[in-house]
Structure 1
Amino acid sequence: MLVSIQVDEQLFKTYIFYSALLVLKVLFMALLTARQRMIKKIFSNPEDINTLKNSKVKYDDVDIERVRRAHLNDLENIPFFVIACFGYLLTNPSIFLATNLIRLFVASRIFHTICYAVIVLPQPSRAIAFSMGFGVTIYMAVQTILYFI
């Protein structure tokens, strides 16, 4: 049996564009972690202390850990969004709704990083940012399941 599924071309381009932005964001987080390590002269591996004079090995610097945890949070959430969103695109969703859900997810991940690792805003700002992105992913996954059930 051959199945033919149509995806709106502009919506697919939106998905690809914002997915690429999320990829760059995740990669940028590694650079942000490295930057924090260089500024603080704190490394997690003994062989890295030769990089800068007066460096030390330490595992629990608050600023470095904030960036690392934000990066890990991206790694825990962004791949699932990309998968759920791709499935959602196959359900022939409203172009307006899908486009804005994608934008909301991307904005929530950027805001999450700002709250957690850049400016460090007080709670519940980080929780709200996380919840918006998490909710979008759940919505898309549930809609995909209901469509293909």
Structure 2
Amino acid sequence: MMSSYDEDVFRLFCTYAALTILKMMLLSFYTARFRVAKNAFANREDRVTKDSKIGVNVDEDVERVRRCHLNDLENIVPFLTLGFLYTLTNPSVYAATMHYRIFFASRVLHSISYLTPIPQPSRALCFFVGWFVNASMAWTLINFGMF
């Protein structure tokens, strides 16, 4: 299987995987920023003052960023796995580029539409574009395994 490995496609995957993970990591800082600004924390030991709000759903802005981050986790982890395995199917550089770029763009636009918030169906469209990219790579992997 490794004889069909394309170094350019692998480098491309590594680049988009790193960009996607970095985008997801930035949401952690964005969540922390809102927690401090809104004085809303998940744990008692994180409180800044005695009147800090503690618990789930204590602030809509904090929860919106947190939900956006969770959505990233649910979608980016499969992308990382499928994208890596997809590199082993010896796709063309063009096909791999389109898969990786479209997925990354869909996640960036999803976050923007989630955090802004832009009215639906923008967020749903971004989600489904990314989902179909993952499905396309999965389908390629299934077909690759059949032959």
TM over 0.5: yes
Aligned to 2:71: 73
Amino acid at match of 1:11: V
For 2:144 and 2:68, locate their aligned partners in 1 and report how far apart those are by CA, in whole Å. Answer: 33
State the alpha-carbon separation in 2 of the partners of residues 4 and 142 from structure 1. Answer: 20
Q: Which runs of 5+ in 2 are unaligned?
A: none
Mapped to 1, the partners of 2:17 and 2:49 lie a distance apart of: 36
- How do 1:9-88 residues align onto structure 2 when only pairs under 5 Å count? 9-49=7-47, 51-52=48-49, 54-60=51-57, 61-88=59-86
1:124 maps to what in 2?
121
Helix, strand or coil for the counterpart of 2:3? coil
Which residue pairs with 2:140 in the alignment? 143
1:34-60 deviation digits (Å, cap 9, x = unpaired):
1111111111212222x2575222421
Q: Select the residue among 103, 108, 111 that pairs with 2:109.
A: 111
Q: For the structure 1 residues 52 and 7, does the alpha-carbon distance in structure 2 shift closer, same or farther, using more than 3 Å as the test?
A: farther
SS of corresponding position for 1:123: coil
**What is the rounded CA distance, in whole Å, between the counterparts of 1:57 and 1:87 in structure 2?**
42
Residue 97 of structure 1 corresponds to 95
Q: Distance in 1 between matches of 2:5 and 2:96?
A: 12
Q: What per-residue deviation string (whole Å, max 9, x for no partner) do you get for residues 66-99 of structure 1? A: 1101111111111111111112111121211210
Number of residue pairs matched? 145
TM-score with structure 2 setting the length: 0.91
| Structure 1 unmatched runs, 5+ | none
Q: Distance in 2 between matches of 1:109 and 1:144?
A: 22
Is 1:133 the counterpart of 2:130? The answer is yes
Return closer, same or farther for 1:14/1:4 CA change in 2, 3 Å cut-off. closer
- Cα RMSD over matched residues? 1.5
Pick which of 78-87 and 125-134 moved more. Answer: 78-87
Structure 2 distance, partners of 1:74, 1:108, is 11
Provide the rounded CA distance (Å) in 2 between the counterparts of 1:4 and 1:94: 16
